[in-house]
């Protein structure tokens, strides 16, 4: 159907590294458990770190009087 640049003869060659990564991801997804050992790093990476980025970005925008912050009326 059509004489486009892509034909049926162009097959995808699988990358073994990508396939390995995909397999590990599927295994990790099923085997991951929250324990006392990984709870603190999990909270830090999922809550504290993103909040820290938000806090310092907002603080800088308030100091520089960014028009988006001034217009919003939150400042």
Looking up tokens 């830090």 gives: 44
Secondary structure string (H, E, C) spanning 31-52: HCCCCHHHHHHHHHHHHHHHHH
Q: Convert the pLDDT of each residue in 11-50 to its tens digit.
A: 778 899 999 999 998 998 888 899 999 999 999 999 999 9
Q: Which two tokens stand for residue 14?
A: 């699988």
How confident is residue 71, by pLDDT bands cut at 50, 70 and 90? confident
Q: Is the pLDDT of residue 56 over 60?
A: yes
Q: Is the pLDDT of residue 53 over 90?
A: yes
Residue 45: the pLDDT is: 95
Comparing 51 with 62, which gets the higher pLDDT?
51
């Amino acid at each position: 159907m059509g004489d486009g640049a892509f034909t049926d003869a162009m097959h995808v060659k699988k990358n073994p590294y990508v396939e390995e990564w995909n397999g590990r991801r599927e295994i990790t997804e099923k085997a991951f458990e929250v324990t006392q050992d990984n709870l603190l790093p999990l909270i830090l990476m999922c809550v504290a770190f993103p909040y820290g980025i938000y806090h310092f970005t907002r603080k800088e925008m308030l100091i520089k009087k960014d028009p988006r912050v001034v217009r919003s009326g939150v400042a």
